[in-house]
Amino acid sequence: MSIHQDIDTQHKKVDEWHEKEEVLDQDAVALAATYTPGSAEEKALVWKIDKRIIPCIWILYTLSYLDRANIGNAKTGGLEKDFNLSSTQYSICLLVFFISYVIFEVPSNLLIGRLRPSIYLSALCVIWGGVAALMGATNNYRELAGVRFSLGVLEAGFAPGVAFYLSSWYTRYELTKRYSLYYTATAVSGAFSGLLAGVITQHLNGARGLEGWRWLFIIEGVVTSFVGLFTWYFMPDWPSTTKFLSGEERVLAAQRLAYDGLASTAGAQGHLGHWDALKRTLTNWRTWMFVFLYMLCTGAQTIQYFVPTLIASLGWTGYIGQYHTIPLYACAFVFILGFCFAADYTRRKPELICLAASLGTVFFIITVANTKHMVQYVFLILAFGCVYALPPMVLTWVPNVVSSPAEVRAATLGLVNALGNSASIYGVFLWPKTDAPRYIPGFSATTVFLGLIAITAPIMKLLVAKYPTERLDTDKVVRDEIEKQRAQGRLPAGHA
């Protein structure tokens, strides 16, 4: 059988991609064997995929972070004064979001593999935007906490859903770069939130009888819902089912993933049930190592909800303080891209995680040890950048280690993201007003979190290397099969 005939045969198999659970089945090997890495066709395909996926998820995630994190800007923009909000009450408003967020992440991530992600993710965006706007109608902290809880239910499915979605389109050393581009939305939304909050609280306060912080919630929530009405049209679904790729391109997309050891991709009804996937996830020690790492990341990242408060402690208040939050997120943007691109380029993700955490530890120590406000501000900016560089590297390390079956990958990503974000439940209590102006306990805890990440990442790398899963040897097995077929004359020399 010629290579072209073989490709035609594999075309018929793409829609049956989920029918077999076994990772190294004959379909996977055959698909991988007819694949030429780095071809012009593959580069054109990846660029075509990038143009569809990255802008859509980036916009949605930017809006997601605006809607969840704008409470910090609203607090210093008049919410705290109008509600007579205590430090504990504000922390409770943050806390309830993460409770619902943690509870609903895994169920949502198991669901996305059986649905069209374009519809599912966009619908979530429309609904959570409406809920976020309702925060502008609350009159006390109890009502605000109730709306925040509902917001957590809806946003729970987005971040881990996107991580699984991307891992079903990109190979392991393409994934971190793409995820970093998506994750820069957190930095951009943080910077834009500070800018937008400054403009709104300065110019719309009192407009139509509403306080500026109410307008902040309403405007950002309505914009989110509006955008979600259109993104579904542009987003592709799964490689084997999307209509924006030709038949040959869908085959190539499947071949790329098979060659990279991702033989089980989403897009059809999987053979492995939800309970079996969850059982495999819970009994895998690697899952719990990742949970620990991600808990440290998100525990450190709760500083984002107190950035306006920390800036105020350095002497910048009101809308001037809002504008001074922007450099922190600008630095986070640069650090996310720099570290994540380096992680894919060098293929040394654990080492880059260790480096970012170590630098952040040093920067936070300098911030706490110094009393000059400008020095504190500069090193706070640098430390903040390190904090933001870590989550995308840790989360995209998960599918590198736990890559298949797709249902297990989805469950693992959901559980890591869910339990990891549970650190935010206690993290929001690390920065009470009583610790002003230096907030030594909060800074100290964040420093410890980063230090533990710097220690744990290389340990995890050693353990994964010493106790590899069968999946970690997929590339070698597939390449051995290709060499075997080549020796039998079924493939031309140099094909792989």
Q: What are the tens digits of pLDDT across the range 180-229?
A: 888 888 788 777 777 777 788 778 877 887 888 899 899 989 999 999 99
pLDDT value at position 463? 92
Terminal CA-to-CA distance of the chain, rounded, Å? 18
pLDDT category, 358, cuts 50, 70, 90? Answer: very high
Mean pLDDT of 146-168: 86
| Overall CATH class of domain 22-487 | mainly alpha
- Percent of the chain residues past pLDDT 70, beyond the cut: 83
Give dist(CA 276, CA 24) in Å, integer.
19
24, pLDDT greater than 70 = no
* Average pLDDT estimate for 392-408: 81
Residue of 428 and 404 predicted with greater confidence: 428
What's the rounded Cα separation, in Å, for the pair 59 and 368?
35
pLDDT band at 116 (very low <50, low <70, confident <90, very high): confident
227 or 433, which is more confident? 227
Residue 415 main-chain phi, psi, to 5 deg? -70, -45
pLDDT category of residue 19 using cuts at 50, 70 and 90: very low
Whether the per-residue pLDDT at 480 is higher than 60: the answer is: no
* 60-74, 348-362, 387-401, 420-434, range with the lowest pLDDT: 420-434
- What pTM did the predictor assign? 0.70
* Confidence band of 15 (pLDDT split at 50, 70, 90): very low
pLDDT tier for residue 404 given thresholds of 50, 70 and 90: low
* Buried/exposed code over 109-134 (b: 16+ C-beta within 10 A; e: otherwise): bbebbeebbbebbbbbbbbbbbbbbb
pLDDT band for position 469 (50/70/90)?
low
With a cut of 60, say whether residue 161 has pLDDT above it: yes
Long-range contacts of 318-324 (CB under 8 A, 24+ apart): 318/76, 318/201, 319/77, 319/197, 319/198, 319/199, 319/201, 319/202, 320/198, 321/76, 322/73, 322/76, 322/77, 322/194, 322/195, 322/197, 322/198, 322/201, 323/194, 323/195, 323/198, 324/194, 324/377
Q: Which of 11-20, 73-82, 318-327, 385-394 shows the lowest per-residue confidence on average (mean pLDDT)?
A: 11-20
Averaged pLDDT, 451-458: 96
Mean pLDDT of 313-341: 86
pLDDT at 446 over 90: yes
The pLDDT of residue 253 is 84
Q: Which of 47-61, 253-267, 301-315 has the highest mean pLDDT?
A: 47-61
Q: Provide the pLDDT confidence category of residue 4 given band limits of 50, 70 and 90.
A: very low
What mean pLDDT do residues 406-429 have? Answer: 77
- Report the chain's mean pLDDT, rounded to a whole number: 80
- Give residue 149's identity as a one-letter amino acid code: F
pLDDT at 421: 76
- Of all residues in the chain, the percent with pLDDT exceeding 90 is 27
